Amino acid sequence: MVTRADIGVIGGSGFYSLLDDAEELQLATPYGLPSDVVTIGRIGSRSVAFIPRHGRDHRFPPHRIPYRANLWALRSLGVRQVLAPSAVGSLKAEYGPGALVVPDQLVDRTSGRVQTYYDTDGAVHVSFADPYCPSGRAAAVKRAQEGGWQTVDGGTLVVIEGPRFSTRAESQWYAANGWSIVGMTGFPEAILARELALCYTSISLVTDHDAGVEAGQGVTHDEVLEFFARNVTRMRTLVSETVQSLPEERTCSCGSALDGLKLPFELP
Ligand SMILES: [Zn+2]
């Protein structure tokens, strides 16, 4: 394969125009097709592959996204660092719409999603104590602060199964545990990245308060999309700047996640 990329971005629409000399690739993987064609181009000196998580026409709901195919496709292009912008609900009154959270922990409340590549020919137990890349997180936090975002360095992302939103009681329970934000796509994306020894960084834009945090009817999907659309230009800038701030050589431990483990197949 001639076309390569160092950095992967899995996100919503609106990122294509960011890439110079963009080229589209239809990639097949052992796990089926990715969410859409992969767009490859450059941001500054960095080569970037972009996949719209839900497909360009938003045809995949969170529980149907081909997470394994997406991460596999990125790795097969040479990607070793992944940025994952997404929209989230806030569990804390002080983080309102427009806050930018770079979580350092995750709680999985999904059910029934395939969450591993290693489901045949023996068990592969990968450490997931710290699910996010420290280098990627530092780059995203620094750029968000410089960009004037209300930036939250750390916190816990609760990933729910969806596609429904939380009940008020669920939301209050998450908040009572001290968790920060709620989303539907951060898992299994994060663990699949780790299982491929990729760096993975969540860049979470708060679009609303979750149901239990404030009185009222809770959020609607239209409100989330409308808020995200209003902020997509700023998010593009933030992701673009973070891409250019990622280290050329990885010094984090993400790349050695599989050291000493016996894998049933070779990674791409
Ligand atoms: Zn890393």
Task: Take residue 145 and report the two structure tokens written for it.
Answer: 């602060």
Summarised one tens digit per residue, pLDDT across range 122-179 is 889 999 999 999 999 999 999 999 999 999 999 999 999 999 999 999 999 999 999 9
Alpha-carbon gap, residue 210 to 59, rounded angstroms: 24
Look up residue 185 and give its amino acid. T
What local confidence, expressed as pLDDT, does residue 268 receive?
94
pLDDT at position 232? 86
The ranges of the chain with pLDDT < 50 are: 1
> What pLDDT score does 58 carry?
86
Dihedral, CA atoms, 204, 207, 213, 219, nearest 10 degrees? -130
* C-alpha triplet 230, 243, 2: angle, nearest 5°: 115
Annotation says 119 is catalytic: no
- What whole-number distance in Å separates Cα of residue 145 and Cα of residue 251? 23
Cα 171 to middle of ligand 1, angstroms: 31
For residue 100, report the distance from its CA to the centre of ligand 1, in Å.
20
* Predicted local distance difference test score (pLDDT) of residue 14: 63
Q: How far is the CA of 158 from the centre of ligand 1 (A)?
A: 21
Q: Look at residue 3 in the predicted model and tell me its pLDDT.
A: 79
Kindly name the residue from 121, 153, 208, 222 that is annotated as catalytic: 208
Catalytic residue among 6, 20, 210, 222: 210
How many angstroms is it from 134 CA to the middle of ligand 1? 6
How far apart CA 171 and CA 158 sit, in angstroms, is 10
* pLDDT at residue 13 in the model: 63
pLDDT at 105: 98
Backbone angles phi, psi at 86, to 5 degrees: -160, 165
Ligand 1 geometric centre to CA of 254 (Å): 4
Whether 6 is a known active-site residue: answer: no
Q: What's the pLDDT at 218? A: 63
